[in-house]
Amino acid sequence: MATPLEQLDRAYQAAMDAEGQAFFRRLREYVSLLRENRRIKRVVTALSAEVQQAEREYGEEDDELVRELVTLRDDLVKIAPEAGEDADVEHPGQREPFDPAAADRWRSWAFTLANFDAIVAGREEQMLEEREGDRSRSRTLGDILNAKVYNLQYPDDPNRKVRDDLDDLRTRLNHLRDRQRAAQLRVEAVAESTGHVALLNLEHVLSHTAPREPRPEAARGSDEYSVWINGVFAESISGFAHLRELMRPSELRGSLEPKAMEAIGHIEGRCRNALERLHPPLRQRFEGKRFLPAWGDFTRNEKIGVIAILVAVAVPVVIALASGP
């Protein structure tokens, strides 16, 4: 029976040797192995636990940074009261992806102290968007204050500063933003070294090889509808939509145009890169280990064979013991 390391290596090589539809099928088998093989799954879980610990530590740092940024926000309003004039600006309401004016209002509101305070309070209307895989409160709060201070110091010309009284506050702000960035990079380093980022990337791509969920029975502009339509747009722009067609049986699918094949090739290249980053951390955890096969790793026929051997050995022993003096 193949060891976990041998199974991993075989699945990895099978994927890397394949192309096109076959590559994504072999890739799916590799990722399934990580989720379904008990011994391999334990290693994946242990690696994920390292990332979760790093994220918890980042969360504690984020909470501390938020407290210090709130103090900085209050100091800014004391020095420059005009900076707080948008603290009570009304929320722009439901986001509508097809309305450019609404999108502009959302972008403007995102950098107000109204949004700053909503994020700190954890209110539903907060606009806390992910950037570079980071969704921390301290990053967004730092961005808001940075825009405020910059616009106050350089309102018209980026080469002509008009306010020196905010220099000390900017120095404090830069320090806090540097701390946030350093904490974020520490988490990223752990996530990369464990293969966690690469695995998430591969699982995301593979999710686009399954049939798409139907259009929801929801009103146009509702949250449910917006999530669905934004997903369709993102899938189309990224080229993932072509994967669904690629994975259909060749006898049933339509033709894929050169641009579609180019997009698929780009996605395949990214997946190969991710697989090359994911496999070594997993492989390293198994190197040098010796494994005895676990009962759950045997097939049904193999289990029957093992039982037959045990019975064949045990029966003569029992008979010998029974006939002894």
pLDDT, tens digit, for every residue of 298-309?
Answer: 556 655 665 666
CB atoms within 10 A of CB 4: 22
Per-residue pLDDT of the chain (325 residues; tens, 9 = 90+): 688 999 999 999 999 999 999 999 999 999 999 999 999 999 999 999 999 999 999 999 999 999 999 999 999 999 999 999 999 988 887 666 566 776 677 788 899 999 999 999 999 889 988 887 888 999 999 999 999 999 999 999 999 999 999 999 999 999 999 999 999 999 999 999 999 999 999 999 999 888 877 777 767 767 777 777 777 777 777 788 888 889 888 777 778 889 989 999 999 999 999 999 999 999 999 886 654 455 455 556 655 665 666 656 555 555 555 565 5
What is the pLDDT at residue 54?
96
Quote the pLDDT of residue 292.
42
Q: Whole-angstrom Cα distance, residue 219 to residue 214?
A: 14
The model's pTM: 0.76
**What are the residue boundaries of the structural domains of the chain, listed by start?**
4-286, 299-325
Reported as a single tens digit per residue, the pLDDT across 68-78 is 999 999 999 99
Dihedral sign, Cα of residue 214, residue 216, residue 222, residue 223? negative
Structure tokens at 117: 């305070």
Phi, psi of 131 (to 5 degrees): -140, 125
Look up residue 215 and give its two tokens.
């259009």
